[in-house]
Structure 1
Amino acid sequence: MKNLKAILYHDSVLKLGLILITISAGLFFIEESGLFEVSEGAAFSIFFCNYFLSVFYFFAMIRYRKELRYWALLLVLWFISAFALNLGMNVFDKSVTWLCVLICLSCVALILSVFMDELGQKLKHVVVFLLGSAFVLFVYYSIYLTSMYLIGIFAAIVIGLSLHVFVPAGLAIVTFITIKKAVQGSRSLKVAAATGVLIPIIACSIFIWQWKSINNQVNLAINHNTLSEGKLPTWVVISQNIPKNALAERIIKAGIVYKTANLSDNWFWGDWNKASFDEPKKHDPFVVIASLFGGDLNLDEKERIKILEALYDSRHQAQERLWNGDKLKTANVITNVKIFPEYRLAYTEKTLTVHNTGTHGWWGRGEAIYTFHVPEGSVVSSLSLWIDGKEQKSRLTTKAKADSAYHQIVGVEQHDPSVIHWQEGNTVTARIFPCTPEENRKFRVGITSPLRKQGDMLTYESSYFDGPSPESAAEAVQVSFSKKPEGLNMPNFDEISEGIYTADRLYQPDEQITFKAPPLAGVPFAFAGKGYQLKDYQPQTTSFNPEAIYLDLNANWSASELNELWPAIKTKKVYYYDGKLETLTEENRDNVYSRMSKLNFSMFPVNEIKHPESSLLITKCAETSPNLHDLDESDFGKALTAYLPNAKPLQLYNIGTSLTPYLKALKEMRVFTYNEGDATTLQSRVAKHEFTRSQEDSTHVVLAQSGLVIEQTADTLKTGNAPDHLLRLFAYNDIMKKVGPHYFDKTYVQSDIIDEANQAFIASPVSSLIVLETQKDYERFGIDENKNSLQNASAKSSGAVPEPGEWLLILVVIAVINFLVYRSKHVQPEL
């Protein structure tokens, strides 16, 4: 340590270089870390500071130009400056995490090499090892930038900015000379340096081998699907069969998110005609090299995005975007929850503020797109957008009209709209435009949700969202109860008054509040001549002895589950699906399981079950699969289109706890009667011939997860403060029942279904919520004010709405009272 201090004391040029590197790295950290908000103008200012420090040190050390150590420090300064420039002029794209770590370690190793003679033996070996890896990295960057060398020479006259492209080549030369000098006369140091060089080369070779392996699996899946004339799209079969891991995801994203060595295009400038995928572009040297030596995947970009949607839950990133939103972030979140324990439902309002960190002006505008993940059975029942500082509430219209208006206004006219669309898989999408740097944009979404019942406990589950990053967003939460329940568990909340709780914190996507379930309220909600009454759901069984059993096998089944279940079902006809229905027997069971257990998910064609009324489908699945709408134009989808209008009741038993989006959509559409439990319970059900009986009809909907039945009645006399959300939940479930048989042919867009959605004012497959800027905008797109409707839900007023007859009675009473008051004041009594 004393020697180091002495060296720095006597070598002012060396000390200056270290000080400037520290300052330059600090400036770069401020810009790159995201911990501090930096505008684009400030980012360029930071770069020029980095650049100035590099130029300043160049002139400070130029008279000592034969000293290798000074060149090492200068090139590190230039390297930092190059990456600062890269933030404004995209050359490398964003480096992946392992690459960032290696870059930092390489620079540290090069700085430490300046003091090589003063280092201990162990540290010297570590530094030499890191220098070996750094040399490989710098050589890679040198080759990567070869297409820029000619431009760099001719553009150097412009204050030398283009000379940054030669920095990696200079670093490679300096690193090689440094290693050569350091390892002289030491066999162990030579081994350390060689190891540092070989490890990244070996790692890259393994990556290329895995790339080729997955590429081969993709080609095999394509060939087998073609030979078998499979009804599923090829990309679905590929999604089922390729490994589901980070490496496979990176390979599928190559060319979409990750830079590749596509020699047929301009390597440097890239392809501006990419399909929309909202994920920052990244630079991974392994992907670049593997794309050069491992061969192209036999998939086009749309197929890759479909695979990412189905296998890696990337549907939000694949949403259509009319304007860029990469400069947007969620600044704060206000969550207002009203829980009705006696009705087993809740209403949640989320008010979000969107902040734009881009440049001011027309080009700085952004489109905010949010995907809200809501609890099962939930429905969006309100939308507000703040325009010129005032809250403007939404209107409900058909999905087609809302989509047409939004595209016209955002894509052509570019002023204020907001829209919410229903999506499969318990999600909705919200779009807000424009979001400008001049002012924050605020909007509110209201969600009606049933509570989940387990035993004698109820659970409230919050909705969460994908969208502009909520990292560091402040959240204010208020939870209130219509009646304070017993056994309340909500840690980290403060009770500010009876039944009202608050919390101030950073945004938290997951929230669960549990409490004991009180008796159901007996007061119905009444509207438009109908009442909506709650009843406890008591599952009723029916005698059912299936003649045939169908196993929906995939990777989520364990061998022990199949072996445990087999004795109870082997006496019946047992089938599985592997491109076509096949018989499962004692002899082929192990081979079938070995093959089917490699599938990431399954897509069992319920339409191919010949006698569904006497059949049992047993499933266990993860939460990933294509959505129903992904199959629209496929043979699989066409077969379902023909089947659904006349589908007969099918018993489905889930031995897991989750469903794929495919089965979840079919469940909402009541394609099957749903049963859930473990394999042991299923064996008992099969032995006793007892399975759940559907209790739904045109006037009853069942919310099994809440233990509820909502009954529609003609009795509107017994009304009180029942929340209007009873009608909203009934309507949503009733609409899904009606939509199911015609989901693919789109003939479900009927006036009676639209009227039902309008009355309940909910987002659904046929209806969307939209906010436009002016009354004229509504008129020209034919979006009328909603009549005979509950309108936007509100946390302030969730009670019963008087019937038209009740309004008339109220007016009559008021008129009589006014007459009596007037008479007492102005009419003199006769003597």
Structure 2
Amino acid sequence: MTNKQYFQFMLRDSRLWVGLILIVVSLGFYYLPGILHCNPNDNFGYFMMNYILLQLYFIYLWVGGNLRRGRRGRNTFAVYLTLCLISCFLLNKEFVIFAKSTDWWAVTLAVCCINNIAYGFKEVFPPLVRTIMAFVLGISTCCFLYLTFCLLPMCFYGGIGMLFFGIGGHAFIPLLFLIYTFTLASKYVLFRKKHRYAYFSGIGFVGVVIAVYITLWINAVFAVNDAYLMPDNKDLPHWENVARKTPKNAITERVLKAGLVYQTAGDGDLSFLEMPRRRGIFDAELLQDPLVTIASLTRPSYVEETDAAKVLSAMYDSRQETQERLWSGDKLSTIQVRTNADIWPSLHMAYTEKTINVFSAEPDAASWNSQEAIYTFHLPEGGVVTSLSLWINGKEEKGVLTTKEKATEAYATVVGREMRDPSVVHWQEGNTVTVRVFPVLGQSSRQFKIGITAPLLQQGKKLVYQNIWFQGPDASEAREDVNINFQEDPVGVEMPGLFNRKTNTFSSVGPYDADWQLSCIDPGVRTNLFTANGRSFFVTPYQKELAAAVVKTIYLDVNQSWTLAEFNAIKNLHYPMKVYAENEWQPATEELFESLQKDRYSLFPVYKVPERATSLVITKGNVVSPTLNDLGDSKFYEDLQASFKTPGKLLLFNLGGELSPYLKTLKEYRLFRYTAGDVAELKQWMALKQFPADIENDHRVVIEPAGVTINMEENRGVSNAPDHLMRLFAYNHIMQKMGPQKMSDSEIIAAAKESYIVTPASSLIVLETQKDYDRFNIHDDLNSLKNASIHGKGAVPEPHEWALILIGVMCLLWFKKKRAVAI
């Protein structure tokens, strides 16, 4: 019989075809409920339907004699085992032993099953393919040996479970696969030298991969443990040293996520696998990776779970995953984003509203299936949240500004105990805010809107509008509608290719894209006014002004973004240079520089600088670092907070790049006289004993990225500018007073309420009913700007305007009454 005839003969086997069709059906039972968002409570029902088909197929094979030895039995038994393995994973959905398989592991198991089935047709394949099949068979042996070992503790319970319609037999399926693989090897592989070498090469390949992975794992664990147990700064928490010094790579990430995300070897109740016990520490999908499981047997990491989450936040930008949760959000996805923005080029600012629809894939709307949506929005430097809305029963309900403490208490009480409708937005460090929305019920969506007032970025002669991007529920399938309205005629607009222009409105419709921007030519600054409560706000161009600066010592804030050439250039300035190392200030030698240059980021101890008036700190931007809040329980944080009361500002010069979250927050708090440039520019200033002056005061704030200052004076006239001038001034003025010239908490809240802005001390919250606001003593301030809006002015009437309004109302009532008498 030729190969072609043999292949045609085998394909005429109806039992083989039925088995292959059942594999497709079983995969449908496994994948379709998740795709169609079916009720997870029905998982056991899907398993039972598939299990009944599996048993019917077994009877079909037994009656037809296909379970006997021989070619026909070899073909169909491999198909039957594959069906059994799929059945195991279906049962695993109800009785979870293995977490979700990583992609590489799922593909490997699929290839192993296909290879076993292909052995039924090995006669039709050329010699090279048979050699490859023998290699894969060696890999299969290792894979099913791993699964068998993991389920050894389950075999006892599986034996008892055999009494219940044979369901307990699933515990023995990997063992059957292992035996079958050995059978194939002994019968078709081992007697041929080339195939035997290929088979053992497959086993050897797996052994080498495991050995290499374990070696890398042990090295990573040593590095993590050394950094954790021997920190180089006694004022900082131990985990911070891990984040700063440990090499950043995939293995280190898995070491830190072991026990948080990845299953590890342990003493689980039903297997040798231990499910991660995260307790809400890290919000990510649980995964099963055999390499991580095996490597975790070798050497443990000493980093505690809570500390590991903080390290991941600092090293891998995982703050979204480490947000504290009251309810799960793993079934949520962002399905629609609508962006509306007003831009004022002559004021160098914009107001953006993001309306977002978030959908829950939970199968029903029961309250215990409610999901909590958490979004982190990234704002341009100097930007502030100025509105929040949540749709409740189809109606838009606007947020009310209150203290952060009241908003937190109200949200936690309503969400944690009463499970009703709130939304809240809190200020976060590093130009970010978090929005929380609850509840998102199964098979339904919630809609909320956030408004952000932000400066435009000045780049030479251009102004750039940067998209407000976010992290949160998956937005890969989301649709985005964008409408950008220029309030003045723009010149030289540059926009992404998908945007269309209609007069001064630019719009696009398509898939959500977080990274885009618009730009236009800077028309210059107009001093338009916004007037409220007897004060006028207006914009003027920002010009650097030099002031005297007597520098005696230069302090270097060194991290991996520095170069040796920059160090030598600063050394040539011929000033005493110091770095902070081993808990003390030391002369900045090249050896110390190279040691500190290995650090991923730096946390410059501002509070340890002995003489601020004669000190200059030189840094270089690095977007990675912990935030102040991350360091909250450390002596470093306490001493830094205490130093805020020290008068005077430290000179800070940035050699380039975006400041780290740590320095960015201190800059917002106005701890520095700050500027950026190159060493040549710095050299000129040092020769003149000058440095850019701090020109901010109670009547002026500097928005450096926009190249403007916002000024406040006594009433200068009627408003002809948007209220966002007042909001931006108030936010930056409050941040100015969070540092050395700190306002009282009552003053901060009063200023925030007047301008209706989210600050470190104030938040916006939406509650379901007025009774909820009354219960938590949250009340709106009548003398405030209220929530910002697109095309809105938001002006607060002046006293004389209130009088005119009152006279107008009285006249209207008089005319109405007179008309009624006449009738």
Quickly name the TM-score band, shorter chain normalised.
over 0.9
User: Which residue identity lines up with residue 7 of structure 1 in the other structure?
Assistant: F
Give the Å deviation of 1:742: 8.7
Task: Return the offset for 1:158.
Answer: 3.1
Aligned counterpart, 1:798: 793
Distance 1:298 1:725, change over 3 A: same
Q: Distance in 2 between matches of 1:374 and 1:262?
A: 43
CA contact (8 A) 1:625 1:662 kept: yes
Paired residues for 1:130-169 under 5 Å: 130-169=136-175
Equivalent residue of 2:554, what SS?
A: strand
Out of 754, 775, 780, the residue aligned to residue 759 of structure 1 is 754
Amino acid at match of 2:22: L
The match for 2:662 is 662
**Mean alpha-carbon deviation: is it higher for 195-204 or for 808-817?**
808-817
Rounded Cα–Cα distance in structure 2 between residues aligned with 1:286 and 1:269: 14
- Given the superposition, is the C-alpha separation of residues 109 and 821 from structure 1 closer, same or farther in structure 2, using an over 3 Å criterion? closer
Q: Which amino acid aligns with 1:736?
A: M
Q: Distance in 2 between matches of 1:314 and 1:248?
A: 14
Letter in 1 for 2:696: E
Match of 2:626 in 1: 626
Residue type matched to 1:485 in 2? P
Q: Which residue of 1 aligns with 2:14?
A: 12
Match of 1:777 among 765, 772, 775: 772
Candidates 133, 151, 160, aligned match of 1:127: 133
SS at match of 1:646: coil
CA distance in 1, matches of 2:754, 2:49: 61
Q: CA deviation at 1:286?
A: 1.4
Distance 2:498 2:817 in 1: 53
Asked if 1 retains the 8 angstrom alpha-carbon contact of 2:263 and 2:276, the reply is: no
Q: Please tell me whether the aligned partners of residues 53 and 77 of structure 1 are also in contact (alpha carbons under 8 angstroms).
A: no
Determine the structure 2 residue equivalent to 1:263. Answer: 267
1:472 positional shift: 0.9
1:330 equivalent in structure 2: 334
How far did residue 475 of structure 1 move?
Answer: 1.7
2:586 aligned residue (583, 598, 607): 583
Q: Which of 521, 532, 539 lines up with 1:534 in the alignment?
A: 539
Alignment of 1:238-257 (within 5 A): 238-257=242-261
**What's the CA shift string for 1:569-598, capped at 9, x where partnerless?**
xx211111123344335xx41x22332122
Conserved? CA contact 2:496–2:516, under 8 Å: no
Aligned counterparts, 1:276-291, within 5 A: 276-291=281-296
Distance 1:618 1:496, change over 3 A: closer
Q: Distance in 2 between matches of 1:366 and 1:818?
A: 51
State the shift of 1:444 in Å. Answer: 1.0
Superposed counterparts of 1:60-71, under 5 Å: 60-62=60-62, 63-66=65-68, 67-71=73-77
SS at match of 1:603: coil
Q: C-alpha offsets along residues 597-633 of structure 1, whole Å, 9 cap, x if unaligned? A: 2211111101111112211111124211111122222
Structure 1 residue 495 displacement after superposition: 4.2
Task: Report the identity percentage.
Answer: 37
Equivalent AA in structure 2 for residue 391 of structure 1: E
Aligned counterparts of 1:778 and 1:815: Cα–Cα separation in 2: 32
For 1:776 and 1:176, the matched residues in 2 are separated by 71
**Residue 112, structure 1, aligned to residue 118, structure 2:** yes
Q: 2:356 is paired with a residue of what secondary structure? A: strand
Contact 1:649 1:671 in 2 (8 A): yes
Displacement of 1:233 in angstroms is 0.9
Q: CA deviation at 1:242?
A: 0.9
SS at match of 1:430: strand
In structure 2, the partner of 1:652 is 652
Residue 500 (structure 1) aligns with: 505
* Stretch moving more, 533-542 or 38-47: 38-47
- What secondary structure is seen at the aligned counterpart in 1 of 2:307? helix
* 1:749–1:766 Cα contact (<8 Å) kept: no
Structure 2 Cα separation of the partners of residues 818 and 9 of structure 1: 93
**Which segment is superposed worse, 214-223 or 252-261?**
214-223
**Which residue of the partner structure matches residue 314 of structure 1?**
318
The equivalent residue for 2:729 is 730
Once the two structures are TM-superposed, the CA of residue 821 in structure 1 deviates from its matched residue by 12
* Residues 347, 446 of structure 1: 8 Å contact kept: yes
How far apart in 2 are the matches of 1:366 and 1:609?
A: 47
Residue identity in the other structure for 2:26:
S
Task: Write the deviation string for residues 333-355 of structure 1: whole angstroms up to 9, x where unpaired.
Answer: 21111112121111111111122
Residue of structure 2 equivalent to 1:211: 217
Q: Conserved in 1, the CA contact under 8 Å of 2:530 and 2:725?
A: yes
Deviates more, 1:449-458 or 1:180-189: 180-189
What is the identity, as a one-letter code, of the residue corresponding to 1:308? Answer: L
1:387 equivalent in structure 2? 392
Alpha-carbon distance in structure 1 between the residues aligned to 2:279 and 2:812: 71
Question: For residues 351-362 of structure 1, what are the structure 2 equivalents within 5 Å?
Answer: 351-360=355-364, 361-362=366-367
Question: Is contact 1:420-1:429 (8 Å) kept?
Answer: yes
Q: Partners in 2 of 1:459 and 1:88 — Cα distance?
A: 52
Task: State how far apart, in whole Å, the 2-side matches of 1:3 and 1:597 are.
Answer: 70
User: Hey, what's the Cα distance between the residues in 1 that align with 2:651 and 2:584?
Assistant: 18
Q: Report the Cα offset of residue 814 of structure 1.
A: 7.8
Question: Deviation string for 1:760-807 (max 9, x for gaps)?
Answer: 101111101111111111111101122211001111413644423233
| Residue 468 (1) aligns with residue 470 (2) | no
Tell me, in whole angstroms, the C-alpha distance in 2 between the residues paired with 1:685 and 1:73. Answer: 79
Task: Confirm whether residue 181 of structure 1 aligns to residue 187 of structure 2.
Answer: yes
For residues 300-334 of structure 1, what are the alpha-carbon distances to aligned partners after superposition, in whole Å with 9 as ceiling and x for unaligned? 11111111122111111111111112122222121
The partner residue of 2:423 within 418, 430, 441 is 418
Change (3 A) 1:560 1:202: farther
Deviates more, 1:776-785 or 1:75-84: 75-84
* 8 Å contact kept, 1:523–1:718: no
CA distance in structure 1 between the aligned counterparts of 2:637 and 2:50, rounded to whole angstroms: 57
Deviation string, structure 1 residues 487-506 (Cα, Å, up to 9, x no partner): 11123455464212222112
In the alignment, what sits opposite 1:566? Answer: 571
8 Å CA contact 1:607–1:639 kept in 2: the answer is yes
Decide which moves more: 649-658 or 262-271: 262-271
8 Å CA contact retained: 1:526, 1:802: no
Superposition deviation, residue 445 in structure 1? 0.9
Aligned pair count reads 812
1:787 aligns with 2:770: no
Q: Does structure 2 retain, via aligned residues, the 8 Å contact 1:601–1:621?
A: no
Question: Map of 1:85-96 to 2, 5 A cutoff?
Answer: 85-96=91-102
CA 1:437–1:229 in structure 2 vs 1: closer, same or farther (change >3 Å)? closer
Query: Does the 8 A contact of 1:3 with 1:118 survive in 2?
Result: no
CA deviation string 1:732-759 (max 9, x = no partner): 111111122499xxxx662111000000
- Alpha-carbon distance in 1 for matches of 2:196, 2:732: 72
Q: Which moved more, 1:204-213 or 1:676-685?
A: 676-685
C-alpha deviation, 1:31, in angstroms: 4.8
Which shows bigger deviation, 663-672 or 472-481? Answer: 472-481
1:575/1:581 contact within 8 Å kept: no
Deviation at 1:19, TM superposition (A): 2.7
Paired residue secondary structure (1:278)? coil
CA RMSD across the alignment: 2.6
Q: 84-93 or 479-488, which moves further after superposition?
A: 84-93
Residue pair 1:397, 1:769 contacting (<8 A) in 2 also: yes
Contact 1:258 1:287 in 2 (8 A): yes
Structure 1 contact 333–475 (Cα < 8 Å) conserved: yes
What is the rounded CA distance, in whole Å, between the counterparts of 2:814 and 2:233 in structure 1? 82
Distance 2:560 2:436 in 1: 36
* CA deviation after TM superposition for structure 1 residue 234, in Å: 0.7
Equivalent pair of 1:39/1:357 in contact (CA under 8 Å): no
Deviations 1:91-143 (A, max 9, x none): 21111222122122222222222222221122112222122112111111111
Q: 2:225 and 2:368 mapped to 1: Cα distance? A: 43
Name the aligned partner's letter for residue 459 of structure 1. V
* Secondary structure, counterpart of 2:739 in structure 1: helix
Give the conservation status (yes or no) of the 8 Å contact 1:275–1:302: no
Q: 1:356 to 1:816 in 2, by over 3 A?
A: closer
Q: Secondary structure at the residue paired with 2:547?
A: strand
Cα pair 2:623 2:660 within 8 Å, conserved = yes
| Residues in 1 aligned to 2:680 and 2:82: alpha-carbon distance in whole angstroms | 65
Unaligned runs of 5+ in 2: none
